[in-house]
Homo-oligomer: A and B are copies of this chain.
Amino acid sequence: MASPAPQPAPSSALLRELATLLDAPGLQTGDAIETRFRKDWYAPLGAVPPLAVVRARNTQDVAAVLALCHRLRQPVVPQGGLTGLAGAATPEGGELVLSLERMRGVEEIDAQAGTMTVMAGTTLQAAQEAARAAGWLLAVDLGARGSCQIGGNIATNAGGNRVIRYGMMRDQVLGLEAVLADGTVVSSLNKMQKNNAGYDVRQLFIGSEGTLGVITRAVLRLAPLPSATQTALCALATYDDVVRLLRHAQRKLSGRLSAFEVMWADFYGLVTTRVPGVRAPLPAGHPFYVLLDLQGNDASQDAPVFESMLESAMEAGLIQDAAVASSHKEAQSFWQLRDAVAEFPVMWSPNAAYDVSLPIGRIGEFAETLRTRLLAVWPHAEPVNFGHVGDSNLHVSVYLPGATDLDFPEHEISDVMYGVVREFKGSVSAEHGIGFHKKPYLHCSRTPQELGLMRLIKRALDPHNILSPGRVFDLD
């Protein structure tokens, strides 16, 4: 199947046809294009504006626009809340932006099935709040909840803080409606937990970053809403102890461990001394800190279980010190340590931020190896390590004191980083995706055969390569 490089369509014909398909608020062209559609969070503003912005009202609009673009070979970039960190939704010059922001709302909560049917443009927070109001938990949660949209969460297979208990976005999606590159609407709005009727076509679209179809609607799994949380911060001496504590807590709390966030000494020292308003519940100087919680339904039953888990960990020498939150407010102050990461781009700019995953047992050694390699090149580099270690996910932020935007060697740092990821058989992206930013490094985590299979799928579903071309991988 041929896959020619996308050719710019005769744009006047395209714009004329779009104008007949859409209502007035549904199409922005030329100077009327709002700047907000021109970039996602970490991407610079594209040099050339997109050809136009379509703000679809419904699935029919999406289908009509894609059928037209397929016919005219017009590249299209679907956009959700524009909070992505890999640049996939930032349009290149000449591309058509397809925004889902007008397609928002919770269509149904089925309290018996434990499902929620949501339009793709609904913000995560709006969906979470609707679930909560009906007595349920929509379990995926992340910092951008107020802006990010369900469609984007699915297209990027979002992760966040609760993956250890509830899985990633993929695990919340029971049903999906998506529009293929040629405008075919594939409606697979399944509400069942089990459905082995043929291939699971949902899976194609989840995590494909807008390159295989445009997600328009989803049926999401809801979880029972927990009503009581126990939170602790622990200090540990070695990374091996971190892993032993993880397994100890999973066993003792059977099914209720709901977060296991690890902060290396470098991270803890930085946020407790330099981020305003963040207090240190435990003294600095320990090699590792673990923030963990149990979510359950009855504090009087859960608190003794949680404390006994911590006591036995301390008796076994896994923990050097621990602080248990005595109130919701104190638990929130523990979480401020972890959430201080939101300040990093502001306080330590320029820096290079990474989202990698590694086999859990090797993350400690990985962080040490990386530090050694970085310091060998940049003796003053400050790598800062933290992450969802219970999910095999490490975030690393690398700061070079004195560097400026003009001379910050981001590519060279990335080369070192992803070289070590490859050695440790890790992934260059745990949860943020590939987009444009990590495309040059995808081969560090994927074999030529895996990449060949990805290209085969892309060519089959989007033969003219109109959907988010150039994201994730190149075709040739």
- Please tell me if A360 contacts chain B, counting CB pairs below 8 Å: yes
- Please tell me if A79 contacts chain B, counting CB pairs below 8 Å: no
Give the one of A111, A256, A297 with max B CB within 10 A: A297
With A190-B427, A200-B206, A255-B254 as contacts: A457 and B460 at CB distance below 8 Å? yes
Give the one of A170, A203, A206, A298 with max B CB within 10 A: A203
In the complex, the answer to whether B201 meets A453 with C-beta atoms within 8 Å is yes
Contact partners of A304 in chain B: CB under 8 A: 301
In the complex, the answer to whether A359 meets B191 with C-beta atoms within 8 Å is yes
- Dominant secondary structure of chain A at its interface with chain B: loop
Shortest CB–CB separation between residue A21 and chain B, in angstroms? 20
- Please tell me if A35 contacts chain B, counting CB pairs below 8 Å: no
With A1-B1, A114-B360, A163-B193 as contacts: A224 and B429 at CB distance below 8 Å? no
- Please tell me if A17 contacts chain B, counting CB pairs below 8 Å: no
Shortest CB–CB separation between residue A322 and chain B, in angstroms? 20
Question: CA–CA, A360 to B198, complex, Å?
Answer: 21
In the complex, the answer to whether B430 meets A192 with C-beta atoms within 8 Å is yes
Contact partners of A157 in chain B: CB under 8 A: 196, 200
Using C-beta atoms within 8 Å of the partner chain, give the interface range for chain A.
Answer: 35 or more
- Please tell me if A197 contacts chain B, counting CB pairs below 8 Å: yes
Within 8 A of B (CB), among A432-476: 432-434, 438, 442, 445-447, 449-454, 456-457, 459-461, 472-473
- Please tell me if A319 contacts chain B, counting CB pairs below 8 Å: no
Q: Which of B114, B196, B438, B453 contacts A434 (CB 8 A)?
A: B196
Within 8 A of B (CB), among A167-220: 167-168, 170-171, 180, 184-188, 190-201, 203-204, 206-208, 212
In the complex, the answer to whether A427 meets B392 with C-beta atoms within 8 Å is no
Encode contact with B along A400-435: 1 for CB under 8 Å, 0 otherwise: 000000000000000000000000011111111110
In the complex, the answer to whether B447 meets A187 with C-beta atoms within 8 Å is yes
- Please tell me if A388 contacts chain B, counting CB pairs below 8 Å: yes
- Please tell me if A159 contacts chain B, counting CB pairs below 8 Å: yes
Shortest CB–CB separation between residue A142 and chain B, in angstroms? 13
In the complex, the answer to whether A113 meets B198 with C-beta atoms within 8 Å is no
Within 8 A of B (CB), among A206-252: 206-208, 212, 224-226, 243, 247, 250-252
Residue of B nearest to A164 (CB): B193
Additional A-B contacts beyond A195-B357, A254-B296 (15; CB < 8 A): A163-B194, A171-B171, A185-B449, A186-B449, A191-B359, A196-B430, A196-B431, A197-B428, A199-B208, A201-B454, A252-B297, A254-B255, A255-B256, A453-B461, A456-B461
- 17 A-B pairs (CB sep. < 8 Å): A186-B450, A187-B447, A192-B427, A192-B430, A193-B390, A193-B391, A195-B357, A195-B430, A195-B445, A196-B433, A199-B454, A201-B450, A201-B454, A203-B203, A252-B298, A255-B255, A255-B296
